Each structure stands twice: as structure tokens, then as C-alpha cells.
Amino acid sequence: MAKFVILILVTFLFVSVLSQDPADGWLGYAAGTYQPGQVITYVEAKWKVGQNPSVGGAFFSPWFGIEASDNLNLIQPVNPWTGDEWMIYNEYFQWDPENNIDSDSHVVQPGDTLFGSVTFNPNDNSYTMSHTDLNDGWTVNTTIPIQQDDNGNYKNYTIIYFVMEKVWNCNQYPPDGQVTFFDIKVEYNNAQVTPKWQTSYVDDVCNCRAHIVDDSTIQITWDTSL
């Protein structure tokens, strides 16, 4: 698929009429935070690419990412179904001023195991996303500078999201009805911790809900029969 087509689809997926996250189009999601004053220094997770939908033509994505405390800056390794194939790439979306950055992309297959990570770089106040297909070894890295606020202070990334995003007909989602993020590892201030998780949804579609399975596993489920 041509890169410009992908960029158009990405804009359609991740930009909504709201002014901050969680945004219109988010289905079930889990949000993690930790102690006030501490910032995210590392996150990683694995998950398997879902089955191909029985009905094509939709554009949606499971993903995880980190966000600034004002909910205006989102750093996310994404795994969209683009209507007829699965892809992976890195995404940065900034609400104000609006800015969208996408890495190179790669086609992945149902059942492939994916690995994503986000790492804080203290030397230059940036984060590096890494996204890898562990089956074929393809990987991409993207470094995003941390935006400064109106007072010149670097924003603090304090929120972790695991999300299923974009509204379509239920039979256009993967028929296996779930995506499971596993081997989740989270560090705040360079120490591995268990965040405080909350689950919710924005659009109530196909009973899509997030579930905290254990300290290192989050599952998002949906019902394709509705």
C-alpha cells in the first residue's frame, strides 16, 4: 500500500473532533498511572496479531502508548488493520499545535508476535519507540522530542494506555474477539513498578472492554456477533 494512502488512513484513525485524549473512537481501554511526581522511563509489551476480519474494509487498531499528563501528547506503537492487511509502525500525535509523525510501516501476518517498547532518553529529553515483528525480525525505531509547555518546561509523561480504537460494524473486527498484551513491563523513575490500572471506554461498541488479567497482562475483548 502506498505511503500516502497509509498517512491518510492514520489521520482518519487517530485524529478526532475532541481536543485531547481519550478521544472519540476509543473503544475499550486500560489507563495506568503511578505516584504523583514520577514519570515513565520505560514500557514494553508483546501481543499477537489478530485474525483477519471476516468482512474487510474497516480501519481500526489495537495499540499501547504513553501520554503526557495533560493528555495532549501520545507516543504509541500501533498495529492497524488497514482494510485488507495488518501493519505495524510507530505513531506520535500532538494535539496543540497539531502534529502527527509516523514511522516506516511493515505488513505483518495473523499470529505474528509483536514487541513494542518506549524508552526515556534523559540526555536530550526525548522518548524512543521501538516496534518489532518477532517472527520475521523487522523493526523500526522512532525518537520523539518531549514538547515544552508555555513556560518552557518539558512535559511529564505519566499515563500508559492499552487501547482498541475506531468504530466499525462488529463483524468487521477480528473473529477471535480479543487482543492480549502480555509480558508488560513498566518503569517509573527507572524502577520497575505495577501501575494503578483503570478500565473504561469512550464509544460503547460491540461490548469492547479492557480487562486487567494480572500485573503483566491486559486483555481487550469484543463481540463480533452484536
Instruction: Assign 161 a pLDDT band (cuts: 50, 70, 90).
Output: very high
- What pLDDT does 17 receive? 41
**Residue 137 falls inside a structural domain:** yes
Q: What CA–CA distance (Å, rounded) separates 139 from 115?
A: 9
**Residue 81 falls inside a structural domain:** yes
As to burial, measured by CB atoms within 10 angstroms (0-12 exposed, 13-18 middle, 19+ buried), residue 92 is: buried
Instruction: Judge whether residue 77 has pLDDT over 50.
Output: yes
Residue 45: domain span: 3-221
Instruction: Please report, for the domain that includes residue 185, its CATH number.
Output: 2.60.120.700
As given in the structure block, the three cell numbers for residue 188 are 517509573
pLDDT tens for 54-75 read 999 999 999 999 999 999 999 9
Lowest-confidence range among 13-17, 18-22, 113-117?
13-17
Q: What CA–CA distance (Å, rounded) separates 126 from 142?
A: 10
**Residue 33 falls inside a structural domain:** yes
Look at the chain and report how many structural domains it folds into. Answer: 1
Average pLDDT over residues 197-214: 98
**Residue 132 falls inside a structural domain:** yes
Q: pTM value? A: 0.91
